Amino acid sequence: MGFILKLLLTAILTFVLAKFLPGAHLDGFTDAILLVIVLAILNAVLKPILKILGFPITVLTLGLFLLVINAVIVLLADYFLNGFAVDGFFAALLFSIVLSLVTSVVDMVID
């Protein structure tokens, strides 16, 4: 039950973020649910590989390269979903930062 609640709350917040943040566009709430699922899959499968490959750069930038990895994940989600669009790298970076902050708040409230 907690998983479905987190999924729906994150989808609602993602939908709201896409409406308010410049450069991020969602067609509807169904696309927000699909976006959350695609981002979860990409974070589970691809993000650990990118972290390992980017470890030297992450050390040199004191962890800031992880923000770039998050933006790349959002850009990949943009590529895979027709109902989600990001205008560029910096819009994806802003969207990923705000989404990470909001998701961490949701996790703290539900857990």
Predicted confidence (pLDDT) per residue in 41-75, tens digit: 999 999 999 999 999 999 999 999 999 999 999 99
Number of separate domains in the chain: 1
Q: Is 90 helix (H, G, I), strand (E, B) or coil?
A: helix
Q: Is the distance from CB of 111 to CB of 22 less than 8 angstroms?
A: no
- Nearest partner of 102 among 31, 4, 14, 1, judged by Cα: 14
Domain that holds residue 25: 1-110
**What is the pTM assigned to this prediction?**
0.92
Residues 9-40 have pLDDT tens digits of 999 999 999 999 999 999 999 999 999 999 99
